[in-house]
Structure 1
Amino acid sequence: MVTRDAESLLKKYARQFRSLAVIGPRQSGKTTLVCKVFSRKPYVSLENPDERLFAVQDPRGFLSRFKSGAILDEVQRAPELFSYLQQILDRTNKDGLFILTGSNNFLLQSSISQSLAGRIGYIDLFPLSSSEINLFDKRPAELAEYIFYGGYPELFDKSRTPSIWYPSYIRTYIERDVKQLKNIENTVLFNRFIQLCAGRIGQQLNTAALSNECGIDVKTVNAWLSILQSSFIIYLLQPHFQNFNKRVVKTPKLYFSDTGVACSLLGIRKPQEISVSPFYGALTENFCINDLLKKKYNTAGSTSFFYWRDNKGVEIDLLLDTGKKLIPVEIKAAQTFNESFLKNMIYWNNISGNTGGILIYGGEHEYKRSDKIQLTSWKNLKSIKL
């Protein structure tokens, strides 16, 4: 297994907090990472029925086995542990004692906020970034291949076939993880709902349209969107409200946490289909924003991510807010630069009084223009400072 970018952050946090929570999608590499960094700690999976029963029925006895701490995997499966963990952490001055992992953000956050607030450090671990994928001997070569494969470690570590692996992953997710949050009886309809979401990548969220097409009410749409967010399948990119004397859109845009999952839901079965797909631009946008988000999470960056759009349809794909300045980012799948790619960015710079920005595109040539706009290849996303 390659060294994950988040490894140094994990070690740093283990010296700052009495306990750590590593959260992210199922199969994103959480267990592998924590077992590597904390190899001397005993490991217990709460997915194991015997261990989970012990933890639920006798949490004090369960935890008494681990005088020097432990790795507790999928800990949201036994929320009874958290109050007892609080007592242990309050009595210790040791840092990095218990390492908790979870793939269900809602259940984990709810339990932690009630019992362990102020005692625990959070690390979000998402699937592999493009720079991490590049550490493997067998890796994608073209942009469409990176999009198609996504970032789940097992695809590269064990050379899995995406068109076989992802449908199984999605089915397991629906049949296991979703039912932890909400007992959805009609899994066929829920799967249809996820597919409809995949067809809206990079678009403004329209709950009424999802309601009509899926045949469910808006309240159910919002509940199911919450499930998809809590289990790290989708995320919503919020709009930046600063209007610069123009009316702006205040509806979030929908993206998937992994483009391989999205491709599977869209029925894409091989990389060659992506470049001719009507979703090529949206998937490229999704891939690039994902990679930048992973860099932020892996380094505990403070930059906030937004998009901007006014009521005339002028849009900035990504607006990076560093706290000191706003950096507009446009994303294009085309391999050849065209001056028209910068139209919206130049417009936004003019009304905001900003200068510069970043164009990420499908080509390889990189340079900084006289107007301070940087042309950056999708292959070099790691170079963008956050």
Structure 2
Amino acid sequence: MLDYFPRIYDKLLKNQLEATGAVLVQGAKWCGKTTTCEQIAKSTVYMADPESREQNLILADAQPSMLLKGETPRLIDEWQTAPKLWDAVRFEVDKRDQFGQFILTGSSVPPNNASMLHTGTGRISRLRMRPMSLYESKDSSGRVSLRNLFAGEELPVAKAGATIEKLAFLLCRGGWPKAIGQPERMALRQARNYVDAVADSDISRVDDTQRDPQLARRLLRSYARMESSQTPTSQIADDLRGNGTAPNDKTVQSYITALQRIFVIEDMPAWNPNLRSKTAIRTTETRHFVDPSIAAAAMGVGPQGAIKDLRTFGLWFESLCVRDLRIYADALDGEVFHFRDKSGLECDAVLHLRDGRYGLIEIKLGGDKLVDEGAKNLLTLSEKLDTTKMQKPSFLMVLTGTGQLSYTRPDGVMVAPIITLKD
């Protein structure tokens, strides 16, 4: 058995349990939800265990309180297979009137919410878990702390020196816990197996609607080509119509919704700051998988194949950085957004904290020319912000892939390789 790698979500889960009666941990299959929760839980019921599944489902329907008995916090793994457990947990939390009673894990949204009478507000908090960041998988040195940058500290000079080949492997391997520390051939197989499971089974099981596995695979490939873009659903439908049977826009949207419900797709919302000018801000979300390895696996591409198309590789690298930034943002009590205005000015990632602080980040694979371009965009955007109505950015950063060092430019823009970053 592989050693457990400490996760950023370990602390987040503990913090949630200290303040609520139950915590729902949601996220894609294989991202490590159950293993992480097992580190904290004192007792567990596995709803998907073949040996006890039928009995558990009967109890969940007839006497759910029986499944809730055990030392706390009690883990109920894959609770969504028996949606009645939701109200049972909510009621038990009310009755006990104590924090830290239950942990629920789920790799999909329940297919039918009709049996759930209460939202769980005030009793059940939610934690979204993602695959591992490079810092969690020990592929980042963690010398550059976003927390410290938000606190006003200077950017440390940290050595990096990742090659394109190394980045390609990290991208295609992804952050799947079962892939970390494995030989390359075995590590790369995890994302391919994941895509197979999604297309052949999971996309239909999420809401008990039979979907065409081949159309699901074509949609995943199309989404991989649109990664890190603001492509509308209609264009994805057009792309599919050019590659076989012609699904309509409604069908395509239903497949996308199903992928969102099993946490395969996690598009990035637009940032809406106060600007000095009246320039219109685009509100279209940016297309992203929850892990960049899904894009590579959907396209049937390994590390060497990814390198052959550097434009697409650059978009997938952006998705890798977004994955890590989202995980670090969770640790900092923040969110990650994308900015684009009518003039075409963009910012790949805005890490915005709940207390109003934010950092502007451009993502570039590498090279002085691209770093200069990213820095120019950041400075232009920062000058457009109306700082009489909102704070100044805590930092401007170009996040790179192949840079040798982290450093601060004379114009104040920070440059940091992704393999030096942590929360």
1:382 pairs with 2:422: yes
Partner Cα separation in structure 1 for residue 96 and residue 316 of structure 2 = 47
Structure 2, unaligned stretches of length 5 or more?
Answer: 141-161, 241-245, 387-391
Residues 49-97 of structure 1 show CA distances to partners (whole Å, capped at 9, x for unaligned) of 5644334333253532514453211110111222222222221033222
Match of 2:65 in 1: 63
Residues 206-249 of structure 1 show CA distances to partners (whole Å, capped at 9, x for unaligned) of 11111222222222222222111221111111122345421222
Partner Cα separation in structure 2 for residue 52 and residue 283 of structure 1 = 39
Amino acid in structure 2 at the alignment position of 1:314: L
Amino acid in structure 1 at the alignment position of 2:23: L
The structure showing larger relative contact order (alpha-carbon pairs under 8 Å, at least 6 residues apart) is 2
Match of 2:409 in 1: 369
- Look up the SS of the partner of 2:118 in the other structure: helix
Match of 1:186 in 2: 212
Change (3 A) 1:115 1:340: closer
Partner Cα separation in structure 1 for residue 360 and residue 12 of structure 2 = 27
Match of 2:284 in 1: 251
Partner Cα separation in structure 2 for residue 217 and residue 190 of structure 1 = 14
Are the aligned partners of 2:203 and 2:211 in contact in 1 as well (CA < 8 Å)? no
Match of 2:341 in 1: 310
Question: So what's the TM-score if we normalise by structure 1?
Answer: 0.88
- Look up the SS of the partner of 1:234 in the other structure: coil
Q: How does 1:281-360 map to 2 (within 5 A)?
A: 281-297=314-330, 299=331, 301-322=332-353, 323-336=355-368, 338-352=371-385, 356-360=395-399
**Cα distance, 1:108 vs structure 2:** 9.3
Partner Cα separation in structure 1 for residue 228 and residue 415 of structure 2 = 21
- Look up the SS of the partner of 2:359 in the other structure: strand
2:79 to 65, 75, 99: 75
1:146 to 165, 170, 180: 170
Residues 296-334 of structure 1 show CA distances to partners (whole Å, capped at 9, x for unaligned) of 22x2x3323221112232211112233434432100001
- Look up the SS of the partner of 1:279 in the other structure: helix
Change (3 A) 1:185 1:237: closer
1:175 pairs with 2:206: no
Are the aligned partners of 1:71 and 1:99 in contact in 2 as well (CA < 8 Å)? yes
**Cα distance, 1:126 vs structure 2:** 1.1
Amino acid in structure 1 at the alignment position of 2:228: G
Partner Cα separation in structure 2 for residue 135 and residue 373 of structure 1 = 24
Worse overlay, 194-203 or 236-245: 236-245
Residues 102-161 of structure 1 show CA distances to partners (whole Å, capped at 9, x for unaligned) of 00146598877835221112222211110111179xxx9822221111000001255462
1:267 to 300, 303, 320: 300
Match of 1:205 in 2: 231
Structure 1, unaligned stretches of length 5 or more?
Answer: none
Are the aligned partners of 2:173 and 2:190 in contact in 1 as well (CA < 8 Å)? no
- Look up the SS of the partner of 2:278 in the other structure: coil
Amino acid in structure 1 at the alignment position of 2:211: E
Q: Percent identity?
A: 23
Question: So what's the TM-score if we normalise by structure 2?
Answer: 0.81
Partner Cα separation in structure 1 for residue 351 and residue 326 of structure 2 = 11
- Look up the SS of the partner of 1:169 in the other structure: helix
Match of 2:189 in 1: 164
Amino acid in structure 2 at the alignment position of 1:246: T
**Cα distance, 1:26 vs structure 2:** 0.5
Provide the aligned length of Structure 1 versus Structure 2: 375
Match of 2:94 in 1: 90
